[in-house]
Amino acid sequence: MYKYIIEGGFPVKGRIRASGNKNAALPCIAATLLAATPVTLRNIPEIEDVQVMFEVLRSLGASVERLGPNAWRVDCSAVQSFEVPASLAKKIRASILFAGPLLARFGKVILPPPGGDTIGRRRIDTHVLALEELGARFDIDGALKFSANKLVGADIFLDEASVTGTENAIMAAVLAEGVTTIRNAASEPHVQDLCELLRAMGARIEGLGSNLLRIEGVKALHGADFAIGPDFMEIGSLIGLTAVTRGELVIEGVRPDELRPIKLAFGRLGIKWSFEGSDLLVPSGQSMKVQEDLGGQVPKIDDAPWPGFPPDLTSIMTVVATQTEGEVLIHEKMFESRMFWVDKLIGMGARIVLCDPHRAVVSGPARLRADSLTSPDVRAGMAMVIAALCAEGRSTIHNVYQIERGYENISERLRMLGAHIERLEDC
C-alpha cells in the first residue's frame, strides 16, 4: 500500500496531456471478446482498473500483449471459458461488463458479484432487464448466471439510463439475431467510444450520442485498431486543481464538445478557460466567485445523466467551491453515499452544511488546513488530493490505491507541474 505526502500552497503550472478515458477503456477491453481476430487498443490509461480487466481476459484464455505506452493487442480467439474468477470480479465494478460479450459469444456466463467503489446502491437490475429482453435467462446462486439458447433482437426500454447497463445491452445485441432498439440509452462519450470500436469491428449501430440506439445484429465481428478518447473526468479534475492553487495550465488532447456540460458548472464558480485546437488553456487570475442565479437564489450544481453534469465530478466541485467566494448548493442525485466524505473537508476547515446524503451547501472561501486523510473511492480520493494541494501545511493521504485505479501516474504527473507531492510506502 502507498500514501501521498502533500505540501500545500504551491500553484500548478505547465502543460499536461490528458489520459485516455478510463470509462471508455473498460468496456472496450470487454468488447474484444466479441472479435474473431486480434484487436489493438490505443490511448489506454496505465491504471489499476485496466490491469484487472486484462487479467480477467487472460484468466479466460486470451492473449494480451503490451505494444508500447498506452497501446495493447488483445487476441481472444482461444478463449474457451465463460466464468469470471471471483478473485478478480470483486476488485472492480466494471467486471459486470463481461456479462454481455460472454453471453453473446457462449450463450452463457457466470459472473461473481462485482466489487468497486462504495458510493451507495449500484443496481444490476438494468443489466438483467436488458439481457432478458434479448432472450437470456437469469439466476443468482452465489454468482450472477445468464444463459440463452440464442439472443434475438428486441425493442428495449431501460428502466434507467445506466452506462454499464447500456454497454452490456449493446455488446449482447451486436451478435443477436435481428434488430435491437435500445430506448433511454446512456449516451456518455465513453458509451459512444464503445460503439465506435464495435462499428470498426463490423457492428451495425445507429444513433450514437442519442438515447435511442438501433443495432442490427451481425453473425461475426473482426479485429480493429482503435484509439479511445481523452478522460474528461481527469480534465475536469485538473481544471479544478489549477483554479484552487491559483495556477496556470495547458491540457493537451481534449475534445472541446465533451466539456460543454463541465464548462457550464465551472462557470457558475467564476472559472473560465479557452481552446486552441485540441488544447485547453486554464489561465491564472480566475475570479473564483459564485455567479448568482436570477432572482438572488442560491446557485446549484447538480449532476444528471449525459449531457448533464457528470456525477464523478461532484466531489471535485465541492472542493473547488470551498475556495470560491459565495455560497453554492452541490446536489449529488445519483449516488446516495457519495457526499459522506465531506466531513473530512469540514475537518480541514471547509464551511459546509451536509443537508442529507445528496446535498451539501458550501460557503467560501475557506482556509483549509492540512490533515491526515484516507481515500474512500476514486473521485473523492482525487478531491482530497486537490484539497491538500491548496491547504496550509503537510497532509497525508492513505489508501491511494483507490485514486490510482482511475488516474494514471497522477503523483508523478502532478509533480512535473510543480505540485509538492510524494508517493511513499505506507507502513
**Catalytically annotated residues:** 117
Q: Which segments of 86-151 does DSSP mark as H helices, in order?
A: 86-89, 99-106, 125-133
What is the maximal distance between C-alpha atoms in the chain? Answer: 64
Grid cell listed for 236: 475536469
Burial class (CB in 10 A: 0-12, 13-18, 19+), 96: buried
Grid cell listed for 89: 470480479
| Number of C-beta neighbours around residue 139 at 10 A | 10
Measured CA to CA, the distance from residue 238 to residue 273 in angstroms comes to 12
Strand-pair category, 326-331 with 359-364? antiparallel
Q: Which residues are CB-contacts of 257 (< 8 A; sequence separation ≥ 6)?
A: none
Measured CA to CA, the distance from residue 76 to residue 80 in angstroms comes to 9
DSSP class per residue in 55-103: HHHHHHT-EEEEEETTEEEEE-TT----B--HHHHTT-GGGGGGHHHHH
In the numeric block, the cell 460557503 is attached to: 363
| Number of C-beta neighbours around residue 306 at 10 A | 19
Measured CA to CA, the distance from residue 215 to residue 250 in angstroms comes to 39
Measured CA to CA, the distance from residue 314 to residue 320 in angstroms comes to 10
* Residue 399 backbone class (left: φ over 0; alpha: ψ -120 to 50; beta: rest): left
In the numeric block, the cell 500548478 is attached to: 12
CA atoms within 13 A on the CB side of 346: 11
